Structure 1
Amino acid sequence: MAKLPVHVVVLNYNGAEDTIACIRSLQSVVDPVLEIVVVDNASTDDSVLQLHGAFPGLTLIESPRNTGYSGGNNLGIRHSLAQGAEYVLVMNNDVTVTPDFLLPMIALFDKDRSIGVATCKVHYQSRRDKVFAGAGRFNWWLCTGMNKGGYIERYFRNGREEIVDFACGVLFLVRREVFEVAGYLDERYFMYFEDVEFSRRVVKHFRMGYTPLGVVFHKSGGGTSIRSYTKLYNYYHTRNRLLTFSEDVRIYRWYVVAFTLANVIVKSAIQLPNGLKGPRNAWEQISALWRGFADGMSLMKGGSQKKV
């Protein structure tokens, strides 16, 4: 079992309450030793003051601008590697952990040196019996990464360790060599689908492992159903699907475009009943979907990036 400290990178943006809860849960971990690094992604509230007040001496990196999930986490990853980190855990700030969640992931590395990324079982905080993410695979038909199998198969597969080809961005543990060989998170994404792109890049050089023996709990800020998805989720999830596959073979790119267009149409239709309660909100959600599609198509063709 590895005894080196694990550096934990937690990204904060106007979310001090969640980040404080996350850090307090991390402080319950005795083994291995953790070096917690918080990156504040140019919060517009008093997050920095709250975090310093709650945790004097906390390693807190203040980004001069909001560079999204990838850019903010890369700041923390580079800092950790500069401090000599051999393992870096990237996790969302709205995650709380169990005291022994890391040991099974480190055990995967010890058992198989070809594994470069490890992940564990993620449950919803609001429904602790429901799995948010577990054993992941890339689904060519749905053009994304997802839990293996349907609802029945998911519970069986999520109950055993296995090699996977997708690690959900909510939480993943990475060996130093992975960043040195495969590179950092792609900062073009801002948020969503960067985990799909990173996973596809990593598996060209390393294997990725999943263990159900480590358990964490995720708040899920993007929403839990189509009608509750945020405007940012609708925009970036649509745009970044197209960006992710912009360099795949032409026939698959065409399929991704057709699938994404159908996805936007269906989600727009589902949003329409919301217009009865609040026309402006429904229009904003539908507009975010279509702007995401248009900007994604522009990126596929090599056009300029836009940020919502």
Structure 2
Amino acid sequence: MDIEEKMKIPVILLNYNSSSDCRKCVGFLKRQEGVDQEIIIVDNASSDAVEVNKLCKEQGLTFISADANRGYNAGNNIGLRYAASKGYEYALIANPDMEFPDPCYVRRLAQELDNNPQAVVVGSDIVTPDGIHQNPMLPDGGWTHSFGWIKDLIHPRKPQEAYNFIGDFNTTAQCFKLSGCALMVRLDYISSLGYFDEYPFLYCEEAILAKQVAHSGHIMRYVADTTAVHRHIPSVKGDPRPRFRQWQRSRLYFIRRYSGYPWYGCMLSSLSWRLYFTLILLAFSLKKRK
């Protein structure tokens, strides 16, 4: 892609009951400069699909409705396949709760892919409203890291240590893993994978993509000189146990399929995580009985 020409980039937002966030995010995207965009909102069988469809008609966006909610990766794949069918080279995937104050944000990420042919995924500095950085992510570590929760149980981390898996966010460089809340991908590469792995409904998508990129001999790049804001607001989501079961399912799948651990590492890591989730679920069950 010639960065001297005005490029056209598809931007994929996956909506699940987040129509107000979608409207706000679209407002930021509409202020992007130096690029033409096709903003694609995939509705993941949510209750506010009518509102999102209305937004798309008002703003001239592309609306795609999923027939069922099959999870984060499956929903994004709908948008990615659509973008690939139109011949786009790159695509930006963003959560609806993202804000892009830099008007050159989309152009900057595309420029990074242009300048680094080996890179197939790029992401930026991402901060929370509290100023916590969420990129770039460090490697997951070996199978012994699966026992880290025991140390945390004995010596709980301080709040400022919660993001101890984040690397140097001041330097543009190759990185191992990027947050999935906003990243740009090279579409021919994602297509060569068969798109995102749809086995996980939620959780571990970033770890899986990082391993896929590394195993294929490609790289991810972190861009330090542009920033997005992840305005994620924790909400009351009812019983957390189904989410922990999804997390367990995804984590065990990652260990089995992508970790690259030796057989004994896979076995011990899986046992450790099963014990961790059993204790967590037991704690929530006991708490609910009180």
TM-score w.r.t. length of structure 2: 0.80
| 1:30-52 residue CA offsets vs partner (Å, 9 max, x unmatched) | 22222110000111x23333441
> What is the match of residue 238 of structure 1?
248
> What is the match of residue 292 of structure 1?
none
> What is the match of residue 182 of structure 1?
193
In structure 1, runs of 5+ residues without a counterpart are 144-149, 283-308
The answer to which structure, 1 or 2, has the higher relative contact order (CA under 8 A, 6+ apart) is 2
The percent identity for this pair of structures is: 22
Query: Cα distance 1:152–1:71, how it changes in 2: closer, same or farther (>3 A)?
Result: closer
Query: Cα distance 1:159–1:259, how it changes in 2: closer, same or farther (>3 A)?
Result: farther
Q: Name which of 193, 202, 218 aligns with 1:191.
A: 202
> What is the match of residue 54 of structure 2?
52
> What is the match of residue 116 of structure 2?
112
Query: Cα distance 1:34–1:212, how it changes in 2: closer, same or farther (>3 A)?
Result: same
Say if 2:274 is the partner of 1:261. yes
| 1:140-171 residue CA offsets vs partner (Å, 9 max, x unmatched) | 2446xxxxxx7898787111111112122111
Quote how far apart the aligned CAs of 1:259 are. 3.0
Query: Cα distance 1:135–1:49, how it changes in 2: closer, same or farther (>3 A)?
Result: closer
2:71 maps to a residue whose letter is G
The secondary structure found in structure 2 opposite 1:197 is helix
Quote how far apart the aligned CAs of 1:119 are. 0.7
> What is the match of residue 21 of structure 2?
18
Q: How many angstroms apart in 2 are the aligned matches of 1:169 and 1:14?
A: 19
Say if 2:77 is the partner of 1:65. no
The secondary structure found in structure 1 opposite 2:68 is coil
Q: How many angstroms apart in 2 are the aligned matches of 1:115 and 1:157?
A: 19
Query: Cα distance 1:209–1:55, how it changes in 2: closer, same or farther (>3 A)?
Result: same
| 1:85-144 residue CA offsets vs partner (Å, 9 max, x unmatched) | 10011111221212222233223223221111101111124x2x122x11123212446x
> What is the match of residue 139 of structure 2?
138
> What is the match of residue 176 of structure 2?
165
Matched ranges for 1:257-296 at <5 A? 257-264=270-277, 267-268=280-281, 271=284, 275=287, 279=288
Length, aligned pairs only: 265
| 1:5-62 residue CA offsets vs partner (Å, 9 max, x unmatched) | 111111011111111111111111122222110000111x233334414642320001
Q: How many angstroms apart in 2 are the aligned matches of 1:72 and 1:52?
A: 20
Q: Name which of 42, 45, 61 aligns with 2:45.
A: 42
| 1:238-267 residue CA offsets vs partner (Å, 9 max, x unmatched) | 221101121343122123213313432564
> What is the match of residue 150 of structure 2?
none
1:161 maps to a residue whose letter is T
The secondary structure found in structure 2 opposite 1:70 is helix
In structure 2, runs of 5+ residues without a counterpart are 147-160
Q: Name which of 82, 86, 98 aligns with 2:85.
A: 82
Quote how far apart the aligned CAs of 1:229 are. 9.4
Q: How many angstroms apart in 2 are the aligned matches of 1:191 and 1:93?
A: 16
Conserved? CA contact 2:23–2:55, under 8 Å: no
The secondary structure found in structure 1 opposite 2:105 is coil
Q: How many angstroms apart in 2 are the aligned matches of 1:30 and 1:107?
A: 13
Conserved? CA contact 2:13–2:95, under 8 Å: yes
The secondary structure found in structure 1 opposite 2:224 is strand
> What is the match of residue 220 of structure 1?
232
TM-score w.r.t. length of structure 1: 0.76
Q: How many angstroms apart in 2 are the aligned matches of 1:223 and 1:262?
A: 27
